[in-house]
A and B are shown apart, each in its own frame.
Chain A
């Protein structure tokens, strides 16, 4: 079991929230606070980078859905990056892989979004 760490950084297309460690019933409230403190502007992209995620249970999934609704509430968009295989399996079971746009890395997500908004 590894403690949860969250870091936020700004990119030209919007904030990137990195969530690393175990995202579960015990750690989700802290991450949720960080998430709700983010204000992606209208038409911008919130990237949740899960590269360092080691575990994600239903509470974690709730947090990701809260992130999605939070972004939508700001007329912004959301994308996941670096979804680990174990978490991807849960996403497949729960059908979330069809709800979230997913990219190998946060940079990919930002580049694609930048290219899309330029065109």
Chain B
């Protein structure tokens, strides 16, 4: 902006160098003052106080496409504005200018001769006479097309950012919906797994006359069906069959084997209740059904309980196929494994060795059958070393020895507490089955 010293002509002022150079410099500035006004990089406009155009520079004329004589003395400043600009001029620009004597940085739109619009930044000052009377209004107009383009660009960038945010929101909503669908599916599968698990276990165990029975099934994962199973059921002549086992693996494939094992054991026991014959039968079925690189086998204890007529006791004949030994807790407080060494996994080879043992259960005795989910529970936190980090057979024998003498329900309750203590360390399903011979009611407990 050029500050005028007097009249309408701008003056060149400055600290000019001395001597010839100074004279040349001064002359150049004087010479260029008019040119500077006419061809300045901004528009200059002087109007009377009523807005009538008195003087306009070439730059502004070229922007608008008017000839000088079309404007000077014929048009007012507001005639150069768009309708919106005129309104703004009337309501804000002119009142502020007359009040303050100057106004700057106002964005307005000019309307060119050909009707096109041009954004400008307008600054006006009122020139007053020596006695303070307003004489005329000087206005500079800066081309704001670049700035408008910048603002348009900003707006576009903001719109793009908005769109990107909306897109992200949509993606997030889609992901959330997918997550909900997955979660619903997982819950559906959990329900399915729980239902399937229930079909693999007896709803409740009916205790033979003269025996107490308790069982517990610990589900390590709600997502997958485990392969443990047990049952207790009547056979002919007052004897009872019982079994407890563990099919390798988890999931639907293991559940199918568990189901097959359970029904085969019951059917085979009715056909020939000899424990070795029952397990041999199961072995035939499993080896026939599952071959190749997807072998399915199980470890199982099968027993036949026969009441000893004349006493309150029972005889338990046990056959083992690769299963951890049962634990016998005597009325006298002693505890020991019922070893069945050498009994081979059922379902691996055509003619497995099946180990047997027979034990007499008297009043106060308890026998416990379990699967290795308990003995192989992790006892050391992940990443820690020491021992093999598993609960182990010896620890279980010690734990149950402390219970003896006990009863089936008490032993199962204590072992449930143990499973709770081991917590997430129990990463495989665990089945527990306990049988005990109660003391006769008439006979005082020792």
- Checking B294, B325, B349, B427 against A99 with a beta-carbon cut-off of 8 angstroms, the contacting residue is B349
Least Cβ distance of B80 to chain A in Å? 81
Contact yes or no, B383 A99, CB < 8 A? no
Q: With A and B bound together, what is the CA distance between A89 and B13 in angstroms?
A: 107
- Checking B295, B299, B389, B390 against A94 with a beta-carbon cut-off of 8 angstroms, the contacting residue is B299
Contact yes or no, B293 A58, CB < 8 A? no
Q: With A and B bound together, what is the CA distance between A1 and B345 in angstroms?
A: 26
Q: With A and B bound together, what is the CA distance between A57 and B220 in angstroms?
A: 15
Q: With A and B bound together, what is the CA distance between A95 and B341 in angstroms?
A: 8
Least Cβ distance of A54 to chain B in Å? 7
- Check: B273 CB closer than 8 A to any chain A CB: no
- Check: B55 CB closer than 8 A to any chain A CB: no
Least Cβ distance of A6 to chain B in Å? 16
Q: With A and B bound together, what is the CA distance between A55 and B390 in angstroms?
A: 9
Main SS class of interface, A: helix
Main SS class of interface, B: loop
Least Cβ distance of B391 to chain A in Å? 13
Q: With A and B bound together, what is the CA distance between A70 and B294 in angstroms?
A: 9
Residue from B250, B294, B322 whose CB has the most chain A CB atoms within 10 Å: B322
Interface string of B280-324 (1 = CB under 8 A from A): 000000000001111111010000000000000000000001111
Contact yes or no, A25 B322, CB < 8 A? no
- Check: B343 CB closer than 8 A to any chain A CB: yes
Q: Which residues of B contact A54 (CB under 8 A)?
A: 388
Least Cβ distance of B289 to chain A in Å? 14
Least Cβ distance of A94 to chain B in Å? 4
- Check: A92 CB closer than 8 A to any chain B CB: yes
Residue of B whose beta carbon sits closest to that of A61: B248
Given contacts A95-B353, A99-B349, contact A62 B292 (CB under 8 A): no
Q: Which residues of B contact A114 (CB under 8 A)?
A: none
Q: Which residues of A contact B428 (CB under 8 A)?
A: 25, 57-58
B residues at A contact (CB < 8 Å): 246, 248-250, 291-297, 299, 321-325, 341-345, 348-349, 352-353, 372, 376, 378, 382-383, 388-390, 427-428
Not counting A93-B325, A94-B345, a sample of 12 additional A-B residue pairs whose C-beta atoms are within 8 angstroms of each other reads A1-B383, A25-B249, A57-B372, A57-B376, A58-B246, A62-B297, A70-B293, A93-B341, A94-B322, A95-B352, A95-B353, A96-B345
12 A-B contact pairs sorted by A residue (CB < 8 Å): A54-B388, A65-B295, A65-B348, A93-B322, A93-B325, A94-B344, A95-B322, A95-B342, A95-B343, A95-B353, A98-B342, A98-B344
